[in-house]
Structure 1
Amino acid sequence: MRLNPKEFGGTIDPFLAEGWIRSLELHFEYLQMKDGDRARCAIYMLRYDASRWWEGAAHAVDLATLNWARFKDLFYGKYFPADFSGRLTRAFMSLCHGDSSVAEFILKFDRGCHFVPMIARDANQKLRHFLDGFRSTLRRDVMLMRPAGYDEAVACRFLGGAGSAGYRL
């Protein structure tokens, strides 16, 4: 297996920044890297504008005690602003199936869960929010199958006769 984490040069796209952090976390988990080493590794991977940003941000932290969570807080503060996160949260809270396919709705729901952990971590709330977003006829069909949780509700839509991933109802 070849491990080759990508460098980060900065971006104006918050999803790219968040994706970089997530890709690093996969590497860190695989390597069973310690917390402080994670922050130092991420700093080492910064280039161009991101490196210049870190030069300034580093003055506000004690590098000897910098942990991964604190680095991510600083990083997200720069590259994933709170107003953007707030917009994503609001979009998720009002997410409706509408004219999208079932697969598109599920993809949007799964992405949105990342930004609203209070729902994502509570199985009952997650299922309720998912079902509330469906059109009423689909909600009724899934509820008749009495899914125990979100994963089961998703399986009901695909295994219970809804058809392929691109199926539009």
Structure 2
Amino acid sequence: DISILSDQFLAEVRGLKHRNVAAELLEKLLKDEIKVRSKRNLVQSQLFSDKLKKTLNAYHNRAIATHEVIEELIKLAKEMEAASKRGEELGLNDDEIAFYDALATNESAIKAMGDDKLKVIAAELIKMVRKSVTIDWNLRDGARAKIRVIVKRILNKWGYPPDLQEEAVKTVLQQAELLCADWMGDGQ
């Protein structure tokens, strides 16, 4: 839970005498948070995983000093916390924000459609995909094709840009695979 990375905690880490211990602690906490996100939100987990890898590579290659990596990791922790709050600000639950993020991976889609339309599409995708998934849908070509058609119909219905649609469908299907096990556990 990213909330353990409170401002007070981050200030304490920033003030630790042994900087390398502080950097390792932050690295472990951020990796754990990314692992949690990887089960719920594909786009966020990939984004933050890439940022963490880039920062750690720079540190391990001695391109940045220990105090700089600590500051970068603290900045990343704050970005992750802000991303967690973004769903609340948009009025979306965790599943909806995951699908919203899948739809909004392309900046031009956000510009062309706007937040409100993407929120409506995300909510409709959740409803229709959740209704259509079965335990092994992602293993059966026919079931997978059915969900792909549902996703494409919803995107067409709402005017999602056609040039971005194929990538959005792919990302939405990957996101659905992540959430499917959780949905099956809820009994839909």
- TM-score, length of structure 1 as denominator length: 0.30
Q: Pick the structure with more helix per residue.
A: 2
Higher relative contact order (CA 8 A, sep 6+): 2
Q: How does the TM-score come out when normalised to structure 2?
A: 0.28
